[in-house]
Amino acid sequence: MATTALVDPDTGLTQAQLAARHGLRVAGERPSLVEYSRRLWAYRHFIAAYANAKLVASYSNAKLGQLWQVLTPLTNAAVYYLIFGVVLDQKSIPNFIAYLTTGLFIFNFTQSAVLAGTQSISSNLGLIRALHFPRASLPLSTTMTQFQQLLASMVVLIGIVLVTGEPLTWEWLLLVPALLLQAVFNAGVVLLVARLGSKSSDLKQVMPFIMRTWMYGSGVLYSVSLFERLPGWATTLVQYNPLLVYIELARYTLMEEAPLLNESLTQLWLVGAGWALVAGIGGFIYFWRGEQEYGRG
């Protein structure tokens, strides 16, 4: 049965027309993409402060405090070196310690951001329901927290690379844009998994297995030359693996003789920039489309 819109007897306008005249909108209505971006930019200081607060809080109960930002990557590197460097004896890779730690630290940046981002909405429902702000602030603050941890890891990594005999060159400066591209890529993926995680609580149980598989397919622990044994199509597919690309960019800048699957530096930069754009823009739009859903139900 059709319904008749209510009309104000004084003005002759419907409720919808009256609301439009006085600038009233539906509660929780999703803003336009441009307006959403503007609001998010206005909250940039909140994002930075929230990220820093989470970083400090994560080590507040540990006696060594934020020193664990350095100890954790060092411990991981030591364990993997014992297994893959000593037990499996990777002699085919020059300076395996620098090769391994570079791969581990770069991969861990994405892994930590994605795992934390999966729960960035579902674990903050109280905040979401109590305050009105762009929900993308939460997954983006997660990415920023992990980026701050990465900076501490990079100090450790540079020390390891120098101690193991790699010379300091101007090419090391290229590490900065490489990490920035990876940060944009991470932000897009985190926005993607944040929305998916808000819909399915089981995703946080599955994501560690996905990331572990991704690590094995990114040449983190062994020589990427092993991928050349795969069929041609599979090798090409691995070459466009975004994490392998960012890892190889870092290895190229820091090491003189690192084995690389992608021999073209130009191709590495183009693919890395392409993934950053696709993930960054695509993840942001995908998250924005679900803005009105977060915190409901």
Least confident of 1-5, 53-57, 273-277, 287-291: 1-5
- The verdict on residue 152 lying in a domain is yes
Instruction: Say whether pLDDT at 258 is over 50.
Output: yes
The residue among 77, 101, 248 whose CA lies nearest residue 178 is: 248
- The verdict on residue 12 lying in a domain is no
- The verdict on residue 249 lying in a domain is yes
Highest mean pLDDT pick, 175-184, 194-203, 214-223, 251-260:
175-184
C-alpha 194/C-alpha 141 separation (Å) is: 12
The contacts found for 78-87 with CB under 8 angstroms, 24 or more apart, are: 80/104, 80/221, 84/221, 84/222
- The verdict on residue 30 lying in a domain is no
C-alpha 116/C-alpha 114 separation (Å) is: 5
52's tokens: 């820093």
The pLDDT of 55-67, averaged and rounded, is 65
Give the Cβ contact number of residue 3 at 10 Å.
5
- The verdict on residue 77 lying in a domain is yes
- The verdict on residue 156 lying in a domain is yes
Domain range holding 62?
A: 35-292
Contacts of 189 (CB under 8 A, 6+ apart): 110, 113, 114, 117, 279, 283
* Residue with tokens 């020390």, as numbered in its chain: 159
Please tell me the predicted confidence (pLDDT) of residue 62: 57
pTM of the model: 0.85
- The verdict on residue 207 lying in a domain is yes
The single-letter DSSP state of residue 116 is H
Q: Looking at per-residue confidence, does 162 or 18 come out higher?
A: 162
**C-alpha Rg value of the chain to the nearest Å:** 23
Confidence category of residue 281, pLDDT binned at 50, 70, 90: very high
Confidence category of residue 24, pLDDT binned at 50, 70, 90: very low
- The verdict on residue 201 lying in a domain is yes
How many domains are contained in the chain? 1
Number of helices (H), then strands (E), in the chain = 12, 0
Return the amino acid letter for 276: A
Instruction: Say whether pLDDT at 85 is over 70.
Output: no
From its phi and psi, is residue 250 left (phi > 0), alpha (psi between -120 and 50) or beta?
Answer: alpha
